[in-house]
Structure formats: C-alpha cells, structure tokens
Amino acid sequence: YLFFILYQFFVFLIMVNVFLAILNDAYIAIVDEFDGMDLDDVGKRPTIRQRLRDMRAWLRQRQLDGRIEALRKKQRKEELVAKREARKTEMARNKTLQALGMAATGVAAANVKNSREASGGRVSPTNNSRGGKT
C-alpha cells in the first residue's frame, strides 16, 4: 500500500512538472514577441485633443447614420403608399371589368395588345399563342 501511494505521488509530481514546462514555454514565446516590438508605439496614448476629435467624428457619423436611416424609412413608407395605391387601382379596375363581364377577355386583349406593340403593330400569321403555324 505504501509503494502505491509513493507511486501516485511521483506521478503527480511528473504531471505538475509537465504542466509547468508548457506554461514556461508559452511565457518565453510571449516575451520574445514583446521584445521584438517597438516600445515607442506601445506606450503612446492619444492626447485629449485627439480623443475630442475622435469623439466629434464618432458623433457626426452617428448623426449621419441616423439621418440616412430616417431617409430610408421615409422612402420605404412612400414606396409602400405607392404600392398600396397601385394595388387599389388595380383592384378597382378588376372589379369594374368583372362587373362588365370582361375580366377574362381583358387579359386576352392585353396579351394581344402587348404582342402587337412588340411586333411593331403587325400580327403575323405564324405568331400565335401556341408558337406553331396556323
């Protein structure tokens, strides 16, 4: 039983030694990295004037971002109103066409009108809705 406890103690010491070796290696790497740096850049802090200038620039940027966001919101609202008006107009038009019984023929008439505009006002006999010859 005594040998087992001694064995456990020595294994513990070896594990602690390995852990300390890893920490020491990391410390040496960091110290070498800091030794390679210039000390002039590390110790400099911005002056009060520089801090004030940076603060003013940050505030100006924040105000500008707020204005841009407000303009975007206003533009989105105007676009939404325009879409709503267009949808209402289209719905009223469809209602009128349905009341006249021309809803289905209105779509066909619009297709014929669009094909005439695309062909320069002429409708050729080979240019029908099925794409084949008549």
Q: Are 115 and 123 in contact (CB under 8 A)?
A: yes
pLDDT at 73: 96
pLDDT at 41: 60
pLDDT at 127: 47
pLDDT at 100: 86
Q: Tell me the average pLDDT of the chain.
A: 82
Is the confidence at residue 129, as pLDDT, over 80? no
Each residue's pLDDT tens digit, 87-110: 999 999 999 888 887 655 555 555
**Most confidently modeled of 43-47, 59-63, 122-126?**
59-63
Counting every residue, how long is the chain?
A: 134
Residue 16 or 125, more confident: 16
For the question of whether the overall pTM of this predicted structure is more than 0.75, the answer is: no
Average pLDDT value for residue range 47-67: 95
SS3 annotation, the chain = CHHHHHHHHHHHHHHHHHHHHHHHHHHHHHHHHHHCCCHHHHHCCCCHHHHHHHHHHHHHHHHHHHHHHHHHHHHHHHHHHHHHHHHHHHHHHHHHHHHHCCHHHHHHHHHHHHHHHHCCCCCCCCCCCCCCCC
Is the confidence at residue 117, as pLDDT, over 50? yes
Integer CA distances (angstroms), 52 to 43, 57, 60, 105, in order: 20, 9, 12, 71
SS3 annotation, 63-93 = HHHHHHHHHHHHHHHHHHHHHHHHHHHHHHH
pLDDT at 99: 85
pLDDT at 134: 45
Of all residues in the chain, what percent carry a pLDDT higher than 70? Answer: 71
